[in-house]
Structure 1
Amino acid sequence: MKAKKFVLKQQFVGFPKYSDVEIMEEELPPVTDGEFLAEAVFISIDPFIRIHPQEVGNVVMGQQVARILESKSEHYAVGNYIVGFFGWRTHTISTPQLITPDHRLPEYLIKDMDDLPLSLPLGILGMPGNTAYFGFLDICKPKEGETVVVSGAAGTVGSHVGQIAKIKGCKVIGIVGSESKGKWITEELGFNYYINYKNQNLKEELIKCAPEGIDCYFDNIGGDLSSTIISTMKRFGRISVCGFISQYNLESGFDKAPALQGYFVSNCLQMQGYSALLFVPRWHEGIAQNLKWIKEKKLKYRETIIEGFENTFQAFLDLLSGKNIGKTIVKV
Structure 2
Amino acid sequence: MSLPYILTPEAKVPAADRLRAMFNDDKVRIVPELADCMGAKAAEMNGFEVIMVSSGDLACAMTGIPDLQLLSIDDFVRVTEQITHMTPMPLIIDADDGFGLGRALNAQYGCMRIMQAGAAGVLVTDTSELGRKGQLPISDACLRFRAARAGLDANGHHGFLIARCDSDIINDFENTVERCAAYIDAGADMLCVLWMHKIPSRTKKIEAMRSLRDALNAKGGKYVNFPMWYPDLCGKTHDPEEVSMQDLKDLGVYKLTGVHFSCHAAMLAMLDVGRHVLKEQTNDYVDYHFDDTGYKTFTTMSMFGLTDGSWVEAENAFVREPQDSIAQRNADYFVRAEDVHDPDKQS
Rg larger in 1 or in 2? 2
TM-score (norm 2): 0.26
Q: Write 1 or 2 for the structure with the bigger share of helix.
A: 2
Q: If the length of structure 1 is used for normalisation, what is the TM-score? A: 0.27
Counting strand residues as a fraction of each chain, which structure ranks higher?
A: 1
